[in-house]
A and B are shown apart, each in its own frame.
Chain A
Amino acid sequence: MAIRSLASRRTLAGLKETSSRLLGLRSIQTFTLPDLPYDYSALEPAISGEIMQIHHQKHHQAYVTNYNNALEQLDQAVNKGDASTVVKLQSAIKFNGGGHVNHSIFWKNLAPVKEGGGEPPKGALGGAIDTHFGSLEGLVKKMSAEGAALQGSGWVWLGLDKELKTLVVDTTANQDPLVTKGGSLVPLVGIDVWEHAYYLQYKNVRPEYLKNVWKVINWKYASEVYEKECK
């Protein structure tokens, strides 16, 4: 996830930084849209290049922009001690910050077939999936069913419960990150089931999108996260 100050604000940030330090205040870190590690069309035919481009350049970018705006407003409200504005901003931060967090994970959850997309997980994660869900097919069936049944917008997740040391399948509404369902949950694989994730290609047939997305799921990344969190 690329985190760096917005270029156009570098000079202003410098002045702000000085005066902030004089006043004993922090300056905030803003966010930028992470690059995709593959071309927009690289996930075809599972996900069209048209969808990938709009999803990344329009939807994710909007979350980043709006998150930065909310953070700026939050910073000012915190510095002024304006508690009710701080609280009022929480939903904008959850929506847009959540959108940025979730989509940043999503792009890493996907990979072109020629870079391992769709290849089943091996090693520790593969074993854990078999233990908890019987087989990869069992996990896929469960996640696809829960994703299809989700009303409105949201995500379906495979997560690791760090405390209980189990794998869990869960859904979140809108852009709520998985951690909102449990403080010890670590997202391994998230599948976006907002209509913008599939509509141009699959229209109303969300189950068809869910059937095909598994062909480009990057289990190598999920395994890395799993092994790191299990240490």
Chain B
Amino acid sequence: SIIKEMAASSAVTADYVLKPPPYSLDALEPFMSRQTLEFHWGKHHRAYVDNLKKQVLGSDLEGKTLDHIILNTYNNGDLLPAFNNAAQAWNHEFFWESMKPGGGGKPSGELLALLERDFTSYEKFYDEFNAAAATQFGAGWAWLAYADNKLKVMKTPNAVNPLVLGSFPLLTIDVWEHAYYLDFQNRRPDYIKTFMNNLVSWEAVSSRLHAAKAASSSSA
């Protein structure tokens, strides 16, 4: 199915491995502190991976890929036990790779053209993405995603991600409080702006977009 192809062609391949971010834990300072990375990657993300391993041991999910587990435990929203750990392991690796030192600002080229096509302007996309991230109540994620040849902004609760909703993820921001509390406390809007202005890796988004388009056309 196209969803399985999308999942398979996405850059995240963490099959129960805690992959380090593609930069050192202090490389995103002062926008995201080393302390945050130490806890967020070193404790939270690590726990999702470790707990997933324990959870699937001896079950029929053992040995299956991460994306297989995610797609098969979502169960139309009536989540099966392994979903949370599997999806959060996937989401967090995707999140680290959505950022880079010296990132943020406006993209260029094809990506900018598509954002302007589907949102009217980069500024309108920026506002819509910020609003989604700010208004996801409780824990969750905001996304730029691709489906039906269009870019769109999505927000999801807890561990849910666009893969299980039939869309190809391109960019994400974690809005669980643990993602920003040490650096921003309650000030989620400041965290979101900092992410957009200083951290987003548009290179990662572009390469994911290419993969998404390739997956879509090969399934057409």
Q: Which A residues have a C-beta under 8 Å from some C-beta of B?
A: 54, 58-59, 62, 91, 95, 151-154, 173-175, 194-196, 199-200, 203-204
Within 8 A of A (CB), among B78-94: 84
B44, closest chain A residue (CB): A204
CB of B23 within 8 Å of the partner chain? no
The 21 sampled A-B contact pairs (Cβ below 8 Å) are: A54-B186, A58-B186, A59-B186, A91-B137, A95-B137, A152-B138, A152-B157, A152-B159, A154-B138, A174-B138, A194-B138, A195-B177, A195-B178, A196-B181, A196-B186, A199-B178, A199-B181, A200-B181, A203-B39, A203-B43, A204-B43
User: How far is A107 from B140 in the complex, measured between Cα atoms in Å?
Assistant: 26
Contacts of A196 in B (CB 8 A): 177, 181, 185-186
A200, closest chain B residue (CB): B181
A91, closest chain B residue (CB): B137
CB pair A195–B186 under 8 Å, yes or no, is no
CB pair A151–B185 under 8 Å, yes or no, is no
Q: A151-B158, A153-B139 are in contact. Are A204 and B177 (CB under 8 A)?
A: no
CB-based A-B contact count at 8 angstroms: 53
CB of B31 within 8 Å of the partner chain? no
Taking the nearest CB of chain B, how far is it from the CB of A221, in angstroms?
26
Contacts of A194 in B (CB 8 A): 138, 177
B38, closest chain A residue (CB): A203
A154, closest chain B residue (CB): B138
CB pair B43–A200 under 8 Å, yes or no, is no
Taking the nearest CB of chain A, how far is it from the CB of B86, in angstroms?
13
CB-defined interface of B23-58 with A at 8 Å, one 1/0 digit per residue?
000000000000000010001100100000000000
